Amino acid sequence: MEGAVERRSGRSTRDPSFRSETLRDRDRILYSDSFRRLGGVTQVAIGDPSMALHNRMTHSLKVEQVGFSLYSKLTAQPSDVDADPDAIRAACLAHDLGHPPFGHAGEQELDRLVVCPEHREGPRTFERRAADPCPNCLLEDGFEGNAQSFRILTALAVHRESPGRPIGLDLTRRSLAATTKYPWTRGTSGRKQSKWGGYDCDAGALEWALGSTDADPTLDAQIMDWADDISYAVHDVEDFFRASLVPVDDYKSNTETLDILLEYVESPRALGPLTGEVKDALTSMLEFFPAARFSGRTEDLAALDRLRGVLLTQFINAASVDAQALVREPIQERLNSILKQLIWFHIIDDPTLSNIQAGQRRVLREIFEALRPVAEEAYGSGGTEPPGEQALRRLPYGLRRAIGVGLSQESGYTLRQKIVRGLLDYIAGLSDSEAYHLHAVLRGREHAGQLHRN
Ligand SMILES: [Zn+2]
């Protein structure tokens, strides 16, 4: 990669501990506030909170481990594989930074709040959005977890003070490219409509990191992506089996249970029909599933450990590189998807979670609706009037900081768009419990110093 270790600030300092530039990036992410916050963000908020299940921080640490194992596997033989182990580690630690409170439900709700129904169904191109802003969209480039991660790394996170222009953690080009699974701004169709890696206000940084606002993911990024798929499937199954929410043992002993799952998995809205080969591989995989409910006995722990080891090894070994692109054995890729479907079937599509999520969406919506008028008043989004002191004092520090980043950033945004982006940045940066708490405060149900601390 050309200029791979360049930083956007142009700064370069000699590292006294002889770390590589991309290892320095990885360490900056590990020590960032945004990484620390991941300890308070759940993957799927369900189950007994006392059970110490995975959160997004423990998940990210395991993705880093799997990413490094993948790198080691892919470069075990002398080869011309162009992967950077430290950029991969950086990307693995950073990949979930932009996840708002309450997982996917939170992500959808924040997007829904700022994009009008017409443009949610049919987004327009970057150029059209900029040239002819929609009067009904607050932000037509919406909200997306991956774009949010990129914004944290390149603008919101604080590494050093940089008056005049926010630079985030000021990572190298190589590491930024590695963190970007979807190196484009919001697109108009297919995958580019539902997933994107940079907002319109961050298009300059995206272009700097990848050379374009519509690029292909680098090999480092593809390795991070597969490491994420592997960890997510394996650790979720482990968590929900421990919590007795996924009866893994039943699948082994009861063919009827398996048939019901397969019916779900093979439906058109899930994976569609599976080949005989995939089903055979699934049967072989089930051999390693624990035979009894988890109750914390030594044999339960050993069975779980064995299952985890088998699955991780199998998925890591399924990877190879061809022409600097990651290749995954199709059968193993399918098995990985089936494990994820197991979680959808038992957890995500379950009515209990639907009700919890409806409440969580409401929490985010009401925070947004309560703070938006105050923020607009404070910053005078009507035009030229000076910021309203009175209103400014009602805004949490975190929100003022986020809006401040948008205001000092060169982008095509209007003042109102900058304020709304700042509000989304602030809400997306809350932990699950901070969101619940802030909501209670704003609705007059609790009083606390919360608003001032954040
Ligand atoms: Zn619109």
pLDDT tens for each residue of 137-162: 999 999 999 999 999 999 999 988 77
- List the structure tokens of 130: 């900029």
> Is residue 95 pLDDT above 80, yes or no?
yes
How much distance in Å is there from the Cα of 116 to the middle of ligand 1? Answer: 4
When comparing pLDDT for 5 and 47, which is higher?
Answer: 5
Residue 220 forms part of a structural domain: no
* pLDDT computed for residue 266 by the predictor: 94
- List the structure tokens of 165: 């222009």
How much distance in Å is there from the Cα of 118 to the middle of ligand 1? Answer: 6
How much distance in Å is there from the Cα of 140 to the middle of ligand 1? Answer: 6
Are 340 and 360 part of one and the same domain?
A: no
How much distance in Å is there from the Cα of 119 to the middle of ligand 1? Answer: 5
When comparing pLDDT for 211 and 445, which is higher?
Answer: 211
User: Could you tell me the pLDDT band of residue 320, with boundaries at 50, 70 and 90?
Assistant: very high
Are 77 and 158 part of one and the same domain?
A: yes
Tally of domains in the chain: 3
* pLDDT computed for residue 452 by the predictor: 45
> Is residue 449 pLDDT above 60, yes or no?
no
Residue 162 forms part of a structural domain: yes
Are 418 and 346 part of one and the same domain?
A: no
User: Looking up tokens 């002191």, which residue turns up?
Assistant: 389
Please compute the mean of the pLDDT values over residues 332-356 and round it to a whole number: 87
In whole angstroms, what is the distance from residue 238 CA to residue 308 CA?
Answer: 8
* pLDDT computed for residue 142 by the predictor: 97
* pLDDT computed for residue 2 by the predictor: 56
> Is residue 309 pLDDT above 90, yes or no?
yes
How much distance in Å is there from the Cα of 369 to the middle of ligand 1? Answer: 18
DSSP tag of 298: H
Residue 432 forms part of a structural domain: yes
Are 116 and 175 part of one and the same domain?
A: yes
Residue 234 near residue 311 (C-beta atoms within 8 A): yes
* pLDDT computed for residue 118 by the predictor: 95
* pLDDT computed for residue 313 by the predictor: 96
* pLDDT computed for residue 454 by the predictor: 46
What share of the chain in percent tops pLDDT 90? 64
* pLDDT computed for residue 267 by the predictor: 93
Residue 419 near residue 403 (C-beta atoms within 8 A): yes
Are 378 and 328 part of one and the same domain?
A: no
Please compute the mean of the pLDDT values over residues 380-409 and round it to a whole number: 81
Residue 51 near residue 242 (C-beta atoms within 8 A): yes
Are 286 and 435 part of one and the same domain?
A: no
Please compute the mean of the pLDDT values over residues 375-394 and round it to a whole number: 75
User: Could you tell me the pLDDT band of residue 47, with boundaries at 50, 70 and 90?
Assistant: low
How much distance in Å is there from the Cα of 406 to the middle of ligand 1? Answer: 21
- List the structure tokens of 412: 């095509």
Q: How many CB atoms within 10 Å of residue 55?
A: 18
Residue 181 near residue 152 (C-beta atoms within 8 A): no
Last residue of one domain, picked from the residues 298, 323, 350: 350
Q: Residues of 428-443 as b/e, b for ≥16 C-beta within 10 angstroms?
A: bbbbbebbbbbbebbe
How much distance in Å is there from the Cα of 425 to the middle of ligand 1? Answer: 20
Are 154 and 68 part of one and the same domain?
A: yes
* pLDDT computed for residue 44 by the predictor: 67
How much distance in Å is there from the Cα of 256 to the middle of ligand 1? Answer: 48
Residue 215 forms part of a structural domain: no
Are 365 and 287 part of one and the same domain?
A: no
* pLDDT computed for residue 50 by the predictor: 60
How much distance in Å is there from the Cα of 132 to the middle of ligand 1? Answer: 10
Nearest to 360 by CA among 114, 143, 36, 41: 41
CA 99: distance to chain centroid? 4
CA 149: distance to chain centroid? 7
* pLDDT computed for residue 256 by the predictor: 86
How much distance in Å is there from the Cα of 111 to the middle of ligand 1? Answer: 12
CATH of residue 87's domain is 1.10.3210.10
How much distance in Å is there from the Cα of 124 to the middle of ligand 1? Answer: 9
How much distance in Å is there from the Cα of 199 to the middle of ligand 1? Answer: 16
How much distance in Å is there from the Cα of 312 to the middle of ligand 1? Answer: 44
> Is residue 453 pLDDT above 70, yes or no?
no
What share of the chain in percent tops pLDDT 70? 94
> Is residue 18 pLDDT above 80, yes or no?
yes
Are 417 and 276 part of one and the same domain?
A: no
How much distance in Å is there from the Cα of 138 to the middle of ligand 1? Answer: 8
Residue 239 near residue 54 (C-beta atoms within 8 A): yes
Last residue of one domain, picked from the residues 329, 350, 371: 350
Are 48 and 135 part of one and the same domain?
A: yes
Kindly report the average pLDDT of the chain as a whole number. 90
How much distance in Å is there from the Cα of 390 to the middle of ligand 1? Answer: 32
Are 343 and 368 part of one and the same domain?
A: no
Most trustworthy range by pLDDT among 44-58, 118-132, 349-363: 118-132
How much distance in Å is there from the Cα of 383 to the middle of ligand 1? Answer: 21
The pLDDT tens digits for 216-269 are 999 999 999 999 999 989 988 888 888 878 887 888 778 888 888 899 999 998
User: Looking up tokens 């699955």, which residue turns up?
Assistant: 311
* pLDDT computed for residue 104 by the predictor: 87
Residue 7 forms part of a structural domain: no
How much distance in Å is there from the Cα of 190 to the middle of ligand 1? Answer: 19
- List the structure tokens of 286: 């089930």
Last residue of one domain, picked from the residues 188, 210, 232: 210
> Is residue 386 pLDDT above 70, yes or no?
no
Which residues sit with Cβ closer than 5 angstroms to ligand 1, an ion?
116, 119, 134, 136-137
Are 423 and 406 part of one and the same domain?
A: yes
Q: Residues of 133-166 as b/e, b for ≥16 C-beta within 10 angstroms?
A: beeebbbbbbbbbbbbbbbbbbbbbebeeeeeeb
Residue 231 forms part of a structural domain: no
| Domain housing 32 | 21-210
In whole angstroms, what is the distance from residue 153 CA to residue 141 CA?
Answer: 18
